[in-house]
Amino acid sequence: MILPVIMAGGSGTRLWPLSRGNYPKQFLALGGSNHTMLQQTINRLNGIEHSPAMLICNEEHRFIAAEQVRQLNVEHSGIFLEPVGRNTAPAIALAAFKAIENKQDPLLLVLAADHVIENTNAFQQSVNQAAMLAEQGKLVTFGIVGNKPETGYGYIKRGEQYQAGFVVDRFVEKPDLATAKTYVESGDYYWNSGMFLFKASRYLQELKAFRPDIYSACEAAMQVQNDDLDFVRVDKAAFEQCPDESIDYAVMEHTKDAVVVPMDAGWNDVGGFEALWEVSQQDENGNAFKGDVKAVDTKNTLVFGEDKLVATVGVENLVIVNTKDAVLVAHKNESQKVKAIVQQLKNEQRGEVTFHREVYRPWGKYDSVDCGERFQVKRITVKPGAKLSVQMHHHRAEHWIVVSGTAKVHLDGQEQYLTENESVYIPITAVHALENPGKVDLELIEVQSGSYLGEDDIVRFEDRYGRS
């Protein structure tokens, strides 16, 4: 049986300001779909006989991942939370150790949560071909049939044919343009997709042989597991001792059983805005627009308008991204340099590198509408049946005004219900909580006032989502 392992821990900095630290690209709906990239990855498995997927993501993204799986109304085999990022080799090792706990040995189908694959049938055909090889103990990687020289990907050189695939001759680092052209023309090279299929036991066997340090650290981390709601946590101290290494360097470049199966399925890793433009629907002028966009004499341009009208006149080959709190304008051919902007923001400790103005929480979301020296205004949405933590603040008071829905307010041991146009005042140090007892979203305006308005001025006494 195939056990999909979906890697959802990336940061997607080359798509800033759409993708940010607390809400990276795998959780966004890109490429013309109404589903997020994570959800597209899960849906792509329909038609393949498989167990519920296992997810691996960062601690700070756990509720986003769980909510997006819940929206699909599908089961999962747990959401592994990496205590710290240690690259793909250790992450896959955790999944493999978990998979063999019950004396089972499934085929692990390792997928990235942030790839676009246009031809699902071709993807599934390659997976089914690879499954036969993996059952024989081969470690299969999927090589993308390239349609152009690409300098942003690593390559896999194929050797002699082996059933439905080819023996891996070698892995090649990202080439220059001239070298990439020779690779594509030869027909012997594939783009390295970062997708794999192998038995859990075989991966651990090879990892132990070639990187016993990674194997031992992951084995030790798995000795202490803590299941919390949908989530699986492992021993943080043990995992922190694990080296940072990719599966390519740790295992695939050393094993004698590496096989590459070709995949020609319209694959794109959406590694930047030029790639996003390529996978987006374009008009007769080569423009890809999302949002409220008006254009005159505009060609080959990508525009994302989030909350306001974007107008372009007499431009071409641009990327224009307008979010609620940031605007990016870049030449499409230079859009990979967005990483440099992100680094500047990190150096200046700017919040925009990590947070969108709209922030998602396990109970819903909030949008920071306005702020000043001693005040902040938020629009808060609470999902039906959800409840914020029982908490208090040392430095701020709050006013809540209900816009729609019904609010159940807990305030210093007393309960009251508020409906549209009703409000309540929460004094400094008052113990309080907010709950939505209804069947529709609760929306309210929160006005904070005080000497300090940071999110860390929260003392939690009780939280159904396990937050400290």
Structure confidence by residue, pLDDT tens digits, 317-350:
999 999 999 999 999 999 989 999 999 999 999 9
What pLDDT is attached to residue 41? Answer: 97
Written as one string, the DSSP assignment of 85-100 is ---HHHHHHHHHHHHT
What pLDDT is attached to residue 10? Answer: 80
Nearest to 365 by CA among 384, 382, 387: 382
What pLDDT is attached to residue 152? Answer: 86
Percent of residues, the chain, with pLDDT higher than 90: 88
What pLDDT is attached to residue 323? Answer: 95
What pLDDT is attached to residue 45? Answer: 97
Token code pair at residue 212: 């016993």
Nearest to 430 by CA among 381, 388, 454, 394: 394
What pLDDT is attached to residue 59? Answer: 87
Q: What is the DSSP letter of 17?
A: T
pLDDT at residue 32 is higher than 80:
no
What pLDDT is attached to residue 33? Answer: 82
Q: Give strand ranges (E) for 59-178.
A: 76-82, 107-112, 116-117, 139-144, 155-162, 165-172
Please report, for residues 146, 219, 376, 454, the alpha-carbon distance to residue 183 in angstroms, rounded to integers and kept in the order given.
9, 39, 56, 53
What count of Cα atoms within 13 Å lies in the side-chain half-sphere of residue 140?
30
175-184: pLDDT as tens digits: 999 999 999 8
280-308: pLDDT as tens digits: 999 999 999 999 999 999 999 999 998 89
What pLDDT is attached to residue 349? Answer: 94
Q: Give strand ranges (E) for 125-243.
A: 139-144, 155-162, 165-172, 189-199, 226-228, 231-233
What pLDDT is attached to residue 465? Answer: 87
What pLDDT is attached to residue 130? Answer: 97
394-441: pLDDT as tens digits: 999 999 999 999 999 999 999 999 999 999 999 999 999 999 999 999
What pLDDT is attached to residue 268? Answer: 93
Instruction: Tell me if residue 443 falls in helix, strand or coil.
Output: strand
Task: Report the mean per-residue pLDDT for the chain.
Answer: 94
241-271: pLDDT as tens digits: 999 999 999 999 999 999 999 999 999 999 9
Query: Which distant-in-sequence residues (6+ apart) come within 8 Å of 254 by Cβ?
Result: 206, 209, 210
Nearest to 221 by CA among 60, 63, 95: 95
Nearest to 95 by CA among 5, 215, 29, 207: 5
Q: Which domains does the chain have, with CATH numbers?
A: 2-268 (3.90.550.10), 273-343 (no CATH), 358-462 (2.60.120.10)
What is the Cα–Cα distance from 49 to 1, expressed in whole angstroms? 7
What is the Cα–Cα distance from 19 to 15, expressed in whole angstroms? 5
How many residues are given for the chain? Answer: 468
